[in-house]
Chains A and B, each alone.
Chain A
Amino acid sequence: MLKIWSMKKNEETAAKKKPKVSAAQIRLQKDLTELEEFKTMTTDFPDPADLLHFNLIITPDEGFYKGGKFLFSFNISTNYPHEPPKVKCMQKIYHPNVDTEGNVCLNILREDWKPVLNLNAILVGLQFLFLEPNAEDPLNKEAAEELRRDREAFAKNASLSMRGGTIRGQTYERVLATP
């Protein structure tokens, strides 16, 4: 039994560690403070003392969704980064990869999540969804179908939806950046 302690003596680099904070918290502090600065994305913490729950605002400056202001909620569990953050769109939007309940189809949020990925990767992924909506992974099938068939018609409807318009019986939320 005492053998272990003599190992310790030989090990010069062994350092004392007192993690009174959880590994999830440390990792989150690192992820958040090292987020890149994006000119089209900002984070908002309703309770700044609570780093586990925050919102992300995306204001695309090009593409179909230019001029819109999109809101996402991030919920991070104490098992982060073993589990990915839960991300939902807070508005009803017309997007091939976002359904009307706010579910988002982004591979790194589910099946391709790995603990080596970080919040920055998710932000980049979400931003990309607004620049290049992906018709191959539809959550809103009609929107995806339209994007595949007729990009111009899709562009018109995306723009209409952002103004709070109705498309094929569904009324979308007004999400324009300027009132």
Chain B
Amino acid sequence: MGDISLPAPVPAPAWPDRFQHVDTLLDAPGPSTDPDFVRGDVVKEFLRNQCKILVIGAGGLGCEILANLALMGFADIHVIDMDTIDISNLNRQFLFRPKDVGKPKAIVAAEFVMSRVPGTKVTPYFGKIQDKDESYYMQFNLVICGLDSVEARRWMNATLVGMVDPENPESLKPMIDGGTEGFKGQARVIIPTISSCYECSLDMLNKQTVFPICTIANTPRLPEHCIEWASVLEWPRVFPDKKMDTDDPDDIQWLYERASARAHEFKIEGVTWSLTQGVVKNIIPAIASTNAIIAASCCTEAFKLATSCAPALNNYFMLIGTEGIYSYTFEHERRPECPVCGGETIDMPVKKEWTLERLIEALTERQDIQVKKPSLSAGGRSLYLQAPPQLEKRTRPNLEKKLSELVEDGDELTVTASSLPFNLTLRVLLKD
């Protein structure tokens, strides 16, 4: 008989042999395991007692992610979602039941996971990611996003990139981003400031179907054309001062009636209430199996990053299930001109009594950056813009002002110039 060493349970599992399979991965290195991997109790202790993970979104992807993480042994999970449960979610968002309709997704999901997986703590937050600041995000080791909004992802990505402080290793929070659209999906690992970020790949996004406005106006052939006509052209014409609320059933009803009348006029079939809602809210049918695959990929990456038991995805996994199943993994490269992770930050020591003009002069004299005619702003406030003429004229008086009147010590200025392919961040260090 060989030498059998029994894994020490850390901590006591919720049921016998709960971690039997997971532990096979943690008790011995595999052929591609990183040499730094520490097998056994240390890594289990980290995963099950120390690692704090944040899940953003408790919808189609989020439900899968939360269940996977809890079953893998992540024990300190936080979840943010701003939505409440709709009856149409119940077919795939399996942590919710009919009695939960109308309640916050984050809270119901957290309670469900905790009741099913003893020993797991799930802390919900019912609200927006933008409600929280850096001090909140700093407490996590990892962030997984299961979002359906480009805007929310851009915000989260920029926040995590902005938090990186070279003096503080803890400030680097890997972001695992999952996304699905019908039968397509992607999972990616973003190591802020090291690998390509979400913003770097913004131009790779699938474009939503947009119809030419003249087709909508004159030659509709599809039910979607009639619905777009009602929402893009008719609504602003009839209600010039009222914003359309796509969550309001009355507004959808109005669009549906207008679109139906137009469809009738052009002998087009297929305008329905739910298609109307789908088109104006840009709903792409969610496929439960796509969510399951992408969530599984995201959680596997979280597990690998948390334990170092295997190399993590580098860095983009793409799934196309529209015709058969095709997947592709590649390394998306950082874009040097990315407004979030690209560019450069330089420190610029300046004298308090320098004028803005003097600072610009000093900047253009620097050999290391070769900038000509720079425009500067501070926290979204324009300091000096080279163009267009009206803004140049308006910001020109700032050139004469002393730096101490315009900025504070340590402020970061955004510098753009046509000679710079990327934007430059200038940290001003005011000296007496």
Contacts and interface: CB of A to CB of B under 8 A. Distances in A.
Interface of A: 1-8, 11, 14-23, 25-27, 29-30, 32-35, 37, 42-45, 48-49, 51, 78-79, 81-82, 97, 99, 101, 103-105, 107, 109-111, 113-116, 137-139, 141
Interface string B166-199: 1001001010000000000000000101100001
A18 B412 contact: yes
Which of B36, B217, B305 gathers the greatest number of chain A CB atoms within 10 Å? B217
A159 B77 CA distance: 68
B406 to A, nearest CB: 14
Interface of B: 34, 36, 46, 51, 141, 150-151, 154, 158, 161-162, 164-166, 169, 172, 174, 191, 193-194, 199, 202-203, 205, 210-214, 217-218, 232-233, 236-237, 305-308, 339-341, 343-345, 375, 377, 379-382, 385-391, 394, 412, 414, 416-418, 423, 425
A73 to B, nearest CB: 12
B379 A137 contact: no
Contacts, number: 173
Contact of B169 (A8, A17, A48, A138): A8
B172 A97 contact: no
Report, nearest first, the 7 A-B pairs whose CB atoms are least far apart: A33-B375, A23-B339, A5-B169, A30-B416, A137-B214, A26-B339, A105-B214
A14 B165 CA distance: 11
Contacts of B381: 49
Contacts of A34: 387, 416, 418
Nearest to B373: A33
Nearest to B154: A23
A3 B154 contact: no
B199 A23 contact: yes
Contacts of A78: 151
B384 to A, nearest CB: 10
Interface of A is mostly: loop
11 contacts: A4-B172, A5-B169, A14-B193, A15-B344, A23-B158, A29-B375, A43-B388, A48-B390, A78-B151, A105-B212, A111-B210
A97 B214 contact: yes
Contact of B194 (A14, A43, A101, A141): A14
Given A29-B377, A32-B385, A111 B412 contact: no
A2 B51 CA distance: 12
B301 to A, nearest CB: 12
Contacts of B141: 1
Contact of B308 (A3, A23, A114): A3
A114 B210 CA distance: 12
A138 B150 contact: no
Contacts of B161: 17, 19
Given A3-B308, A45-B390, A26 B416 contact: yes
A42 B391 CA distance: 11
A1 B150 CA distance: 28
B162 A19 contact: yes
A16 B205 contact: no
Given A8-B172, A110-B213, A29 B414 contact: yes
Contacts of B164: 16-17
Given A1-B307, A29-B385, A29-B423, 12 more contacts: A2-B308, A3-B34, A4-B191, A7-B191, A11-B194, A17-B161, A17-B340, A32-B385, A49-B382, A101-B237, A103-B233, A111-B210
Given A1-B46, A35-B388, A21 B414 contact: yes
A145 to B, nearest CB: 11
A18 to B, nearest CB: 5
Contact of B387 (A33, A110, A113): A33
A30 B51 CA distance: 41
A4 B425 contact: no
A81 B184 CA distance: 23
A107 B174 CA distance: 38
A2 B165 CA distance: 16
B416 A29 contact: yes
B312 to A, nearest CB: 8
Contacts of A5: 169, 172
A163 to B, nearest CB: 25
B90 to A, nearest CB: 30
A34 B339 CA distance: 16
Contacts of A16: 164-166, 193, 345
A26 B414 CA distance: 7
Which of A5, A33, A81, A105 gathers the greatest number of chain B CB atoms within 10 Å? A33
Nearest to A5: B169
Given A16-B193, A18-B412, A82-B154, A101 B423 contact: no
Contact of A137 (B212, B306, B387, B414): B212
Contact of A82 (B150, B158, B390): B150
B388 A138 contact: no
Nearest to A3: B308
Given A1-B305, A33-B375, A19 B158 contact: yes
B192 to A, nearest CB: 9
Contacts of B416: 26, 29-30, 33-34
Contacts of B389: 42
A111 B379 contact: no
Nearest to A81: B202
Nearest to A7: B194
A18 B38 CA distance: 34
Nearest to B46: A1
B203 A4 contact: no
Contacts of B391: 32, 45, 48
